[in-house]
A and B are shown apart, each in its own frame.
Chain A
């Protein structure tokens, strides 16, 4: 499952994002997009993908929020070395975008589609079509 990368500073403020990155084979030919979620789930370092000079860390987020991501700070959860972003908190309104809720909606949509393709665009947006959020981050 694809997602976007969020880089955050020591206070958790989002300072950079990466929506997608083309992957190449050994001959330099483009063969697809980097699966950031799978990379993180496999325990691999995000520095394989990018480095952000003003960031303290980087994690995957299942939605594409575009530049609106900078309006949030991240909340991390999980054991040391295996943390993940559990929620995004809007810096002005305090509205929370809970990861568990988003992933639950994704799972329900995919279950409903059975073996066929599931259209998740209204749930997660896309690399070239970020979700449009309201001013309070909803």
Chain B
């Protein structure tokens, strides 16, 4: 039998570099790769955004809190992002039949599971740091957080007894690490949801940085940017503990000596879990260890097929021009974008060192009454809120678009402070009205208001009363006036004889300058042969233009 020649079509298999799942739906084929953005931020909030070339109606799996998973097939581990949909909306697409042919999706990462609430009281006796973390994790970490605690390597045999009440799991971790290893302890959540708690951990980044002469295993990014941040400098701090024993001053004497003997302390730390001198000193030393010296931080961009930069990775940074050699630091945030249509290459924007004071251990470990996360305050308009004052007592400057919002019981923001559009201001919303004070417009202020009386007047005569008000205005101000005739409120009036067109009676209200007074005239002109024997009263408003 002669073998048949079977015509075949050879199909070159498509290499999948990234896979994107929303709900249980594989959206990879719908992803517009140029729109994809992911940020991995360790213990801080990571994010995801993408535009899908698919109508919202065709994606029933997409709803608020749908799980989002991004797999990077070119790296190990493959998981690149895990999170939950926070926002999705259709996009009007010009030229497309039907119009709303695309969908934008935004998500935050699994770190929100760290904000699970611990009502407490959870009273923990003196025990090892690992045991305490294991207890809290086992009890309050939900299934989105990995049960693999092999990266909890902090080796502290005994941490003082602590009580955890009305806080989040995130805050509890800060508290444990602060007491276990105040100056060397740190923790973060990796991209697969595993907790890392350490005093020393090597999690090597794809490359070390040498800005001048990179060799094997190093790279020299073109846009390396480094700064020394001494924005928050303290060499002494007062700890407000739970009792007298847990309260008091903690000093960094070496830093004080370096500052020529000057003490810079700033606002105290509220620490309701500090009930012993040891805890007080641990917390104070942890705080001063971060703010008594300048923090080195920086940013660079790496272009590569598949390096797999991630938050938490360790690297060494060298720059002869700056004067640092093998400076050991850690990646705090990575934003990944793609710039090829097949997702085979990546662009990584890497932040290392401290990112806005939010990295390291216990960035809120010294503020026992504050939320231990950027999501606790001031993110109502999507940005971080920092707090405190500098050594001179001047409030610290916040990021642009930072806001503080006060919400009502329905979750509606009623008072917002921050940036609206291009201007900064205050926005108050009550019922159907919104008042915005943004410094871009003037308004009239009512300097004074009251009533006066038009006098009686004889036939073919005029008469006036006046009220002098000590407004101190040195000019004739703007004003409004109304008069009340038989309970009807009207503007000052002119009565016209319609047969002749002649004015018969005119009631005027004028406001003129009179020294440092504003004089309100109530003048009546009677052009009729009939006296006007009854009085009428009117209301005046004296106005002043003012900026707001």
Q: Which of A21, A53, A69, A128 contacts B470 (CB 8 A)?
A: A21
Q: Which B430-478 residues sit within 8 Å CB-CB of chain A?
A: 445-453, 455, 464-472
B539–A28 contact, CB under 8 A? no
Q: Does any Cβ of B come within 8 Å of A48's Cβ?
A: yes
Measured CB to CB, the closest approach of chain A to B14, in angstroms, equals 70
The answer for the CA separation of A70 and B453 in the assembled complex, in Å, is: 9
Measured CB to CB, the closest approach of chain B to A45, in angstroms, equals 11
Number of interface residues of A (CB under 8 A): 27
Q: Which of A28, A70, A127, A128 contacts B451 (CB 8 A)?
A: A70
> What residues on A are CB-neighbors of B35 within 8 Å?
none
B465–A54 contact, CB under 8 A? yes
> What residues on A are CB-neighbors of B450 within 8 Å?
4-5, 16-19
Question: Chain B interface: which size bin?
Answer: 20 to 34
Q: Does any Cβ of B come within 8 Å of A137's Cβ?
A: no
Measured CB to CB, the closest approach of chain A to B538, in angstroms, equals 8
The answer for the CA separation of A51 and B248 in the assembled complex, in Å, is: 61
Chain B proximity mask over A32-67: 1 for CB below 8 Å, otherwise 0: 000000000000000011111110000000000011
> What residues on B are CB-neighbors of A70 within 8 Å?
451, 453, 537
B453–A51 contact, CB under 8 A? no
Interface SS of chain B: strand
Q: Does any Cβ of A come within 8 Å of B484's Cβ?
A: yes
B451–A16 contact, CB under 8 A? yes
The answer for the CA separation of A5 and B451 in the assembled complex, in Å, is: 10
B448–A53 contact, CB under 8 A? no
A67–B465 contact, CB under 8 A? no
Interface SS of chain A: strand
Measured CB to CB, the closest approach of chain B to A129, in angstroms, equals 12
B455–A54 contact, CB under 8 A? yes
A16–B448 contact, CB under 8 A? no
**Nearest B-chain residue to A30, judged by Cβ:** B445
Q: With A21-B447, A54-B453, A70-B537 in contact, do A16 and B484 touch (Cβ < 8 Å)? A: no
Q: Does any Cβ of B come within 8 Å of A105's Cβ?
A: no
**Nearest B-chain residue to A28, judged by Cβ:** B472
Q: Does any Cβ of B come within 8 Å of A83's Cβ?
A: no
> What residues on B are CB-neighbors of A54 within 8 Å?
453, 455, 465
A67–B471 contact, CB under 8 A? no
B451–A48 contact, CB under 8 A? no
Q: Which A61-90 residues sit within 8 Å CB-CB of chain B?
A: 66-67, 69-70
> What residues on A are CB-neighbors of B445 within 8 Å?
22, 30
> What residues on B are CB-neighbors of A67 within 8 Å?
451, 484, 537, 539
The answer for the CA separation of A16 and B449 in the assembled complex, in Å, is: 11
**Nearest B-chain residue to A7, judged by Cβ:** B467
Q: Does any Cβ of B come within 8 Å of A2's Cβ?
A: no
The answer for the CA separation of A21 and B469 in the assembled complex, in Å, is: 8
Chain A proximity mask over B9-27: 1 for CB below 8 Å, otherwise 0: 0000000000000000000
> What residues on A are CB-neighbors of B539 within 8 Å?
66-67
Q: Which of A18, A53, A66 contacts B466 (CB 8 A)?
A: A53
16 contacts between A and B (CB under 8 A): A5-B450, A16-B452, A18-B450, A19-B448, A19-B449, A20-B448, A22-B544, A30-B445, A49-B470, A51-B517, A52-B466, A52-B468, A53-B464, A54-B453, A70-B451, A70-B537
Given contacts A50-B517, A54-B465, 17 further A-B contacts (CB under 8 A): A15-B452, A16-B450, A17-B450, A17-B451, A18-B448, A19-B448, A20-B446, A20-B448, A21-B470, A22-B445, A50-B468, A51-B467, A52-B465, A52-B466, A53-B467, A70-B451, A70-B537
